Amino acid sequence: MTDANNLIAEYRNTGTLGSLPMGHFIDGAFSEPVHNRTMESFDPGTGVPFARFTAGTKEDVDQAVASSRLAFEADWRDMAPVERSRILQRAAALILENLDLLAVVETLDSGKALQEAMGDVRGAARTFEYYAGACDKLQGDSFPLGPDYIGYTIHEPVGVTAHIIPWNFPISTAARGFAPALAAGCTVVAKPAEQTPYTALILADLLHKAGLPAGVCNVVTGTGPETGAPLTNHPGVDHITFTGSVQTGRAVMKAAAEDITRVVLELGGKSPVVVLGDCDKEQALAGVLGAIYENAGQICSAGSRLVVEKSIHDEFVDELVARTRALNLGHGLANPDVGPVNSSEHLAKIAGFLDRARSRGAEIVTGGSVTEDPATGQGWFFEPTIVNSVAADDELAQEEIFGPVLAVQVADDADHALALANDCQYGLVAGIYTSNFAKAHQLARKIDAGQIYINEYFAGGIEVPFGGNKKSGFGREKGLEGLASYCKTKSIAARIG
Residue closer to Mg ion, measured from CB, 24 or 90: 24
Residues composing the chain: 497
Q: Residue 311 and residue 292: Cα distance in Å, rounded?
A: 22
Closest CA to 162 of 86, 243, 97: 243
Tell me which of 300, 309, 400, 477 is the catalytic residue: 300
Name the residue whose CB lies closest to ligand NAI. 224
Answer yes or no whether residue 195 interacts with Mg ion by CB under 5 A. Answer: yes
Residue closer to ligand NAI, measured from CB, 43 or 266: 266
Residue closer to ligand NAI, measured from CB, 299 or 484: 299
Closest CA to 385 of 441, 443, 306, 301: 306
| Least distance from Mg ion to the Cβ atom of residue 401, Å | 20
Q: Which does 191 bind (CB under 5 to 8 A by kind): ligand NAI, Mg ion, none?
A: ligand NAI
Residue closer to ligand NAI, measured from CB, 381 or 402: 402
- Residues 78-97 close enough to bind Mg ion by CB under 5 A: none
Residue closer to ligand NAI, measured from CB, 220 or 308: 220
Answer yes or no whether residue 172 interacts with Mg ion by CB under 5 A. Answer: no
| Least distance from ligand NAI to the Cβ atom of residue 477, Å | 11
CB 493 within 8 A of CB 149: yes
In 111-228, where does DSSP find H-type helix? 114-132, 170-184, 198-209
CB 7 within 8 A of CB 100: yes
The number of residues that bind Mg ion (CB under 5 A) is: 4
| Least distance from ligand NAI to the Cβ atom of residue 10, Å | 28
Active site residue 266: yes
DSSP 380-408: -EE--EEEES--TTSHHHHS---SSEEEE
Q: Which does 402 bind (CB under 5 to 8 A by kind): Mg ion, ligand NAI, none?
A: ligand NAI
Q: Residue 65 and residue 219: Cα distance in Å, rounded?
A: 10
The residue range among 107-115, 344-352, 402-410, 423-431 that interacts with Mg ion, by the rule CB under 5 A, is: 107-115
Residue closer to ligand NAI, measured from CB, 223 or 283: 223
Q: Residue 227 and residue 108: Cα distance in Å, rounded?
A: 23
Q: SS3 helix, strand, coil % of the chain, rounded to 5?
A: 40, 25, 35
Q: Which does 332 bind (CB under 5 to 8 A by kind): ligand NAI, Mg ion, none?
A: none
Q: Which does 41 bind (CB under 5 to 8 A by kind): Mg ion, ligand NAI, none?
A: Mg ion
CB 197 within 8 A of CB 221: yes
Residue closer to ligand NAI, measured from CB, 37 or 137: 37
Active site residue 300: yes
Tell which one of 100, 106, 109, 373 touches Mg ion (CB under 5 A).
109
Tell which one of 8, 17, 23, 41 touches Mg ion (CB under 5 A).
41
Determine the 3-state secondary structure of 410 from DSSP.
strand
Closest CA to 212 of 68, 86, 85, 87: 87
Q: Long-range pairs for 448-456 at CB < 8 Å and ≥24 separation?
A: 448/422, 449/271, 450/476, 451/301, 453/429, 455/279, 455/280, 455/283, 455/287, 456/283, 456/287
Q: Which does 374 bind (CB under 5 to 8 A by kind): ligand NAI, Mg ion, none?
A: none
Which residues of this chain interact with ligand NAI, rule CB under 6 A? 164-168, 191, 193-194, 223-225, 228-229, 232, 243-245, 248, 251-252, 266-268, 300, 346, 349, 400, 402
Closest CA to 28 of 180, 209, 171: 209
Phi, psi (deg, nearest 5) at residue 450? -75, -25
Residue closer to Mg ion, measured from CB, 39 or 93: 39
Q: Which residues contact 51 (CB under 8 A, 6 or more apart)?
A: 16, 17, 20, 40, 41, 198
Q: Residue 330 and residue 339: Cα distance in Å, rounded?
A: 5
| Least distance from ligand NAI to the Cβ atom of residue 459, Å | 19
Tell me which of 116, 226, 266, 400 is the catalytic residue: 266
- Residues 311-340 close enough to bind Mg ion by CB under 5 A: none
Name the residue whose CB lies closest to Mg ion. 109
Answer yes or no whether residue 194 interacts with Mg ion by CB under 5 A. Answer: no
C-alpha of 50 from chain center: 23
Contact residues: Mg ion, CB under 5 A: 41-42, 109, 195
* Catalytically annotated residues: 266, 300
